Amino acid sequence: MYFFSSVPFLRILPAFCLGIIFYDYDFKIYLLITFITFLVSCFILFFSIRQELIYRLRYAFGLYIQFVFFLSGYFLMWANDSGISENYFGNFKNTELYVAEIISAPVVKNGTCRVSIKINSILEKTKWKSVSGNAYVYFKEDKQTTILSPGREVVFSASPTEIAPPKNPGQFNFQRFSSLHRIHYQFYPKIGNWSLLSEKNSFSLKAIAYTLRESFLQVYKDAGLSGNEYAVLSALVLGYDDEIDNETMKAFSATGTLHILSVSGMHVGLLFSALSVLLVFLERRKSTRIFRLIFLILALWFYAFLTGLSPSVIRSAMMFTFILVGRSMNRSSNIFNTLGLTALCIFLLFDPILFFDIGMQLSFLAVGGIVFLYPKLYRIYLSRNYFVDKVWSLTAISISAQLTTFAISIYYFHQFPNYFILANLVIIPLSTFAIFGGVILLCIQFFDSAAVFIGWVLQKLIFLLNYITQFIADIPGSVWNGLTFNTIEVILLYFILIFAVVWYEKKLVVYLNLLLLFIFLTVTSFSINTLNRLNAKKLIVYSGTNHFCGHFTFGLDSWILCHSTDSLKAIQLSNNYCNYTGIPASRRTIVFYDSLKSEIEHAGIYSHRNFILVENFKLLIIDSLTPNYFAGLNWKPDLLYLEKKFFNKEQEASIHAAYVIYDGRKKDFFYLAKKGKLNKSYMDIRKGAGIFNL
C-alpha cells in the first residue's frame, strides 16, 4: 500500500488511458457515461455531508476519482479529434483550391516528395473558408520541391483521397500509422497545379529547427562523411534517417539495436549527462543554479525540436524537466510517479493519441523496466573488478529493458533478436562515442583542419559500428521470426512478469498463486492458438501482383502458387503473412504455375493445363476465355480465377465454381464484378486480398 500512496499520478494513469482506448475503438458511450457521472456525483455529494460516512466511503471515492479520469481521457480524445469538427476540410466536397502550411520535413522517395500539411483555408464556389485538419501531399519531384520546408505555405488544386487500409494480411498499416498523426487524407497534385505562396518560412520553432538541422547535416558532409557512415551519424545525432538503406536498417533491427538510429531516451540522457557535468561548477552558488536549471531545460527541448519531436524524445525531455525542477526545489520524487506525470502531461499538452504510438509505448516500458528490474538484476552479481562491473551493469540494463518490451515488440514486429546482449555490449558503447564525436564536430565546425580530422575519425568509427552490426546480424539464428502474440497474451505476459518479480521479493504465497494462475492462462491461450494454427486450411489470393498469386496453408505447411514474373513480390507478401500468423517460412514451397508442364505433380501440387489441385482444393486459372473452354466440363472448381479479357453471357452461364475472382484491372471485369447476375461470390482483388477457408 505504501508504494501506491507514493505514486498518485501512476494510480490515475490506467483509468485515463482506458478512456483513450474506449474512444479510439469507437465505443459510443458518452451518453451513458454522462448519466452515470451525474448519479455518482449525487451519491458522493449526499453521503459526504455526513461526516461519519466519509471514512467508510473512501474506496467509493477512490473509484469515483478513477472514473473521473476515465472520462477525462475519453473527452480529451474527443476534443483533439479534428475529424468531427464542422470546419474539417474533409467535410467539403466541392473544393477548388487548398491553402496549407507545411509542418514536416519533406521525404523524397521514388520520384515523389511527401510532406505533411496543415490546411488553413479552401476555395469553394468562389468563397474562401477557414478550415482545419492535416493531410499528406505527394508532389512530383522537380526543382521546385527542393525548396519545400516546414513553415512555408503552398496553394494547390487536387482531390483528396482517403488513405486506404493494407490490401494484404501482415502488410504495414499505413492507414493506422497516419491516423496516429490525425491524418486521414492524401493529395496528389499534378505538376503546375501547385505553387508556393511565399519565399520565406513563416515563424515557427519547427521551421527554425529544420533549417538548423539542414545546416548541421551540411557540416557532416563538409567534414568528409559520406555513404552509410554519413547516414548513420545523421540518424544517431540529429534523428535524420531518410538516407539509411534497407540493409542497414535490417541489420540494426536483427541485433535489437534499432532504437539507436532514432533519437530516443538514450540520446537525450547522454546529452543531459554531458551538460550536467560541463555545468557542474554552476552548482556552487544559489544565483547560478537557476541559470543552470533554465539552460539545461532549454537545451533539452531545443534538442527535442531539432530532432523532430519524436514521442520517445518528448517523453525523455519531459521527464528530465520534471527531475530538474524537483531537484531545484530539494524534492526527491518516486521515478514511477514521475513517469506517470510525464505521460499525463504529454497527453494533455500534445495529443492523447500518442498513447498508441509504438515508440511512446516502447520508451515508457523500457524506462519502467530499467527502473523496476535493473537494481534487482544488478544485485544478483557484484564484482570488485571495474571492467567486469561495467559489463555486467550494461548487461543488466539490456536484459531489464528487453524483458519489459519483448512482448509488445513481438506483438508489433513478430521477431526477437536472439543476440541482443552481445549487440548491446558492443554497439551501444561505439554509438555513444559516435554521438559525442558528432556533437564535438558540430561545435568545432569553424576550425576546418580539426573538423576534417574528427570527420575522418567518425567515418572509420561508424564503419566499424556498421560492420560489427552486420556481422552479428549475419550469425545464424540471429533473429527468431514468425512469433505472434495477441492482445490478451501480451497483457497476461506482463502480469506474469510483475507477479514473478513481486513474489521474488516478498516471498508471499498469494503472489505465487497469482503467478501460477497467469502462467496457466497464458499457456492455455498459446495452446488454443497453436491448435487453431495446426488445423487451419486457408487460401490467400494476394492483391498487387501482375498475375494470380495464391498462398495455400495447411497447418504449418504452405505452398505459394504464382507466376514466375511475380516471384519476388510473392515471396515478400508471403513473408509478411508468415510473420503475421506464425507459419514457418522454412516449410513453405514456391511453385510457378506458368512453368508446370501438362499433367505433372510437383511439390505436392498436381497440374493439368490450367487446372491445379492442392490437397483436395480444385483451382482453375483462366488466362483467356473461349466459348469451348467449358464444354464437357463435368466438375466444379472450388475457385475460378479470371485473368484476361471478357466473356459473353453464354460463357458466364457455363461457370460452375463456388467462388469467382475477377482480376479487376480492366473495366470490363470491374463492371462484371459489380453487376454480375450470377449467384456467385465475386471479388475484385484490387480492393484487397481474398481469404478462403478450405
Q: List, for residues 224-259, the tens digit of each pLDDT value.
A: 888 888 888 888 888 887 788 888 888 888 888 887
Dihedral angle of Cα 232, 238, 242, 244, to the nearest 10 degrees:
10
pLDDT confidence of residue 644: 60
Q: Is the pLDDT of residue 602 over 60?
A: no
Q: Spell out the residues 6+ positions from residue 603 whose beta carbon is closer than 8 angstroms to its own.
A: 559, 589, 591
pLDDT confidence of residue 279: 77
Count of helices and strands (H, E) across the chain: 21, 23
CA distance 219 to 450: 12
With cut-offs at 50, 70 and 90, classify the pLDDT of residue 605.
low
pLDDT confidence of residue 347: 87
Return the SS3 of 27. coil
577 vs 49, higher pLDDT: 577
Q: Spell out the residues 6+ positions from residue 215 whose beta carbon is closer than 8 angstroms to its own.
A: none
With cut-offs at 50, 70 and 90, classify the pLDDT of residue 135.
very high
Q: How would you classify residue 427: left for phi > 0, otherwise alpha for psi between -120 and 50, otherwise beta?
A: alpha
pLDDT confidence of residue 593: 75
Q: Which three cell numbers stand for residue 190?
A: 499534378
Q: Is the pLDDT of residue 1 over 80?
A: no
Average pLDDT, integer, range 637-655: 63
**Backbone φ, ψ for residue 185 (5° rounding):** -130, 160
CA distance 158 to 382: 65
**Residue 442 identity (one-letter amino acid):** L
The vertex-569 CA angle with 564 and 573, nearest 5°, equals 125
pLDDT confidence of residue 370: 86
The CA distances from residue 510 to 363, 406, 507, 515, in Å, are 31, 26, 9, 9
pLDDT confidence of residue 672: 44
Q: Which three cell numbers stand for residue 601?
A: 505433380
Residue 138: how many other CB atoms lie within 10 Å: 19
Q: Which three cell numbers stand for residue 642?
A: 479470371
Residue 372: how many other CB atoms lie within 10 Å: 17
pLDDT confidence of residue 627: 43
pLDDT confidence of residue 492: 92
Average pLDDT, integer, range 495-499: 91
CA distance 341 to 535: 47
With cut-offs at 50, 70 and 90, classify the pLDDT of residue 327.
confident
Cβ proximity of 661 and 690 under 8 Å: yes
Residue 618: how many other CB atoms lie within 10 Å: 17
CA distance 242 to 107: 7
pLDDT confidence of residue 674: 46
Per-residue pLDDT tens for 3-23? 666 778 888 888 888 888 888
**Residue 204 identity (one-letter amino acid):** S
Average pLDDT, integer, range 576-597: 81
694 vs 526, higher pLDDT: 526
pLDDT confidence of residue 649: 57
Provide, rounded to the nearest whole percent, the portion of the chain with pLDDT above 90: 11
Q: Is the pLDDT of residue 297 over 50?
A: yes
Q: Is the pLDDT of residue 39 over 80?
A: no
pLDDT confidence of residue 677: 43
Ordered strands of the 557-562 beta sheet: 588-592, 557-562, 549-554, 537-541, 690-693
Nearest to 161 by CA among 188, 180, 132: 188
The CA distances from residue 423 to 244, 312, 473, 475, 644, in Å, are 19, 21, 9, 12, 51
pLDDT confidence of residue 599: 54
The CA distances from residue 471 to 229, 414, 426, 480, 492, in Å, are 16, 22, 12, 17, 35
Q: Is the pLDDT of residue 582 over 50?
A: yes
With cut-offs at 50, 70 and 90, classify the pLDDT of residue 673.
very low
pLDDT confidence of residue 216: 86
Lowest average pLDDT, out of 392-401, 414-423, 660-669, goes to: 660-669
Residue position matching grid coordinates 505452398: 559
pLDDT confidence of residue 138: 93
Supply the mean pLDDT for the chain.
80
- Residue 5 CA, chain-centre distance (Å), reads 34
Burial 625-660 (b: 16+ CB within 10 A, else e): beeebbeeeeeebbbbbbbeeebeeebbeebebebb
H helical segments located in 350-385: 358-378
pLDDT confidence of residue 490: 92
Per-residue pLDDT tens for 511-559? 899 899 999 999 999 999 889 888 888 888 898 888 888 898 888 888 8
Cβ proximity of 449 and 522 under 8 Å: no
Average pLDDT, integer, range 273-299: 79
CA distance 469 to 423: 7
Cβ proximity of 593 and 563 under 8 Å: yes
Dihedral angle of Cα 354, 134, 109, 189, to the nearest 10 degrees:
170
Q: What is the 3-state secondary structure (H, E, C) of 45-87?
A: HHHHCCHHHCCCCHHHHHHHHHHHHHHHHHHHHHHHCHHHCCC
CA distance 683 to 671: 11
pLDDT confidence of residue 676: 43
Burial 96-130 (b: 16+ CB within 10 A, else e): eebbbbbbbbbeeeeeebbbbbbbebbbeeeeeee
Per-residue pLDDT tens for 447-491? 888 888 988 999 999 999 989 999 998 888 888 888 888 889 999
DSSP 8-state symbol, 5: H
